[in-house]
Structure formats: structure tokens, C-alpha cells
Amino acid sequence: MSSLKKIGKLILRFIEYHIVPFFGWLFISKNKYVNVIYYHDIVHDEGDTYMRTNIDVFTSQMLWLSKNGYETVRFDELDDEHIRFKKKRVLIAFDDGWLSNYTEIFDLMMRLRLKYNIFLTMGEISNNPKYLTWDLVRKMHKSGLVGFGAHTYTHPSMKDLARVDFKHEVDDANVLFEKEMGYQPVDFCYPFGYYSEDSNIKLEWESGYMHIYTSEKLYSYQQNGRVIFGRNGISTDYPMHYFKKKVKGYANWYQVYNACFYQKLLAIYHGLRQRRNS
């Protein structure tokens, strides 16, 4: 890696870890809804970005939440009070429905009394050995510790609805969920975090979902009677100080920074590279 590229990465990392959270702290009042953090699979190897989190890293993060008195909430507890932003309140979510969301962490979370939630890719449940079974889903739900939401049937990108079988991915997924769980899901998360304004509007009017979750670090907002949530992915390589800032809602300013400054910084960086190579 060239020295210029290394310097550029260090600068961007410093901005992400320190500058953005500083402004997020200054504008903390912009957080109106409960802060959301999310994971995927929990593993025993070193892990990989947001997709596979090392169990020791995850355990240390949950111990910190517990020791510092954080309130955690399930999807079905998001009433007028608990859906609001509050210092030391966080919603913990997992995408897809990996088996490790039970085998690796259920006992830990029960011991710490930390509630969490799982968005289920319906077609994988009880069909893929790496994923949960419906029996486990019901057991976890019955415990009062875990909430469940929808994550489509086959996990497609929902950004371009012309390429999506909406009935299958949403309606059929909801029918299966209700058949197995006895109630309709009202929480939905976009696969890959990809969405558009059109997909938001269609879900708002045709799905019955009340809470729609993106994978963007943004201030959650209300639209047409629904809440559109920003979320903070937790990468396995994050230092603890940055995890704490994400939990506190300081990283939600990132979308503002991205729109205002990030593109300009990238343009400067690429301009310097072009000058260096010319």
C-alpha cells in the first residue's frame, strides 16, 4: 500500500472514530428514536467486519452494556415511551437468523438480562442448517428475551422494486411468520440495507410494517405514520471506544457528514493521487 493511501485511510479512520462522534455528541438532541445497533453471525474465529463478530469481542461489549446499566428493548416493547431516544437505552438487533444467535449468545444474554431482536430471512428458517429453526425461534420468543421481525423471504435487494417479487418477499414472508409465531410482524429490515424512497412508500402502504429499518447511520424519523430507523452496524474490529460512541448515538451524525463533507474529502484525496501519478 502506498504511503499516500495509508495516510488517506488514517485520516478517514480518525474522522470516523473521533470527528463524526464529536459532532454527534454536540447534536445529540437530533436523536428522537431509540438508538439501534446490529450484528449478524457470532463466531469463534477472528470474525469479518459486520458480518461475522468474534464471540469474545461481542461478550466484552455486552458486559459493558450490562455493567453500565443500559436498558434494552424488544420489538414488541416499542410503544410510545420505549420507542423514544433515551440515554442508556438501546435496541440490539441481528440480521438473517443465524443459528449462532441462539447457540452462542442466548445463555449469555439471559444471564446479563439483555434483550435482543432478530430479523428472520423466512426461507432459511428450518431449511438451512446454519440458521435457526422455528422451534428455536418460538423457544427464544417465549423466554421474553428475544423479539423477532421480518427480513424478506429470500434476502433480495429491495432498492429496485421492479426486480423484486414483492408478494413473495413480503406477503408470503408475513404469512409464514404468522403461521409459525401466531402474530404478524410489524418490524422489517431491508436486506443489505438497500432501499429507495419507492420501497419505503410501498412498504408503508402495503405491508403492515410500522417500523422499517435501514442500515444507514442516520437520525431515525417518522414518515406516513411509520418510523424509518437508521442503524449502527458493529464491526468485529471496532475498538471499544468507538463501540461506546455508536451505542450512545454519536455516530448517527455520520449521514450528515457524509452528505456535506465526505464527498469533498474524497475529491481532494483523488485529486492528490492524480497529481502524484501525473
Residue 121 near residue 191 (C-beta atoms within 8 A): yes
| Structural domain containing residue 106 | 32-248
Whether 93 shows a pLDDT value over 80: the answer reads yes
Please indicate, yes or no, if residue 261 is contained in any of the structural domains: no
User: Looking at the predicted structure, is the pLDDT value of residue 238 above 70?
Assistant: yes
Q: What is the pLDDT of residue 253?
A: 78
Residue-wise pLDDT for 177-204, tens only, equals 999 999 999 999 999 988 888 898 999 8
Residue 272 lies in a domain: no
| Burial bucket for residue 41 (CB in 10 Å: 0-12, 13-18, 19+) | buried
Q: What is the CATH number of the domain that holds 233?
A: 3.20.20.370
Q: Ramachandran region of residue 258, left (φ > 0), alpha (ψ -120 to 50) or beta?
A: alpha
- Rounded distance between C-alpha atoms, residue 15 and residue 221, angstroms: 25
Q: Is residue 46 part of a domain?
A: yes
Question: For residue 214, is it within any domain?
Answer: yes
Residue 85 forms part of a structural domain: yes
Q: In this model, does residue 278 exceed pLDDT 60?
A: no
* pTM reported for the whole predicted model: 0.90
CA-to-CA distance for 231 and 188, rounded, in angstroms? 13
How many residues belong to the chain?
A: 278
In percent, the amount of the chain with pLDDT more than 70 equals 91
Question: Quick check: 263 pLDDT over 60?
Answer: no
221 is a domain residue:
yes
Asked which of 115-129, 202-216, 229-243 is least confident by mean pLDDT, the reply is 202-216
Looking at the predicted structure, is the pLDDT value of residue 57 above 60?
yes
Cell numbers placing 15: 474522522
**Residue 39 is assigned to a structural domain of this protein:** yes
pLDDT grade for 1, boundaries at 50, 70 and 90: low
Task: Give me the number of domains the chain comprises.
Answer: 1
Q: For residue 201, how many C-alpha atoms fall within 13 Å in the half-sphere facing its CB?
A: 5
Cell of 196: 429507495
In a domain, 264, yes or no: no
Between these two residues, 239 and 8, which has the higher pLDDT value?
239
Q: Quick one: pLDDT at residue 274?
A: 66
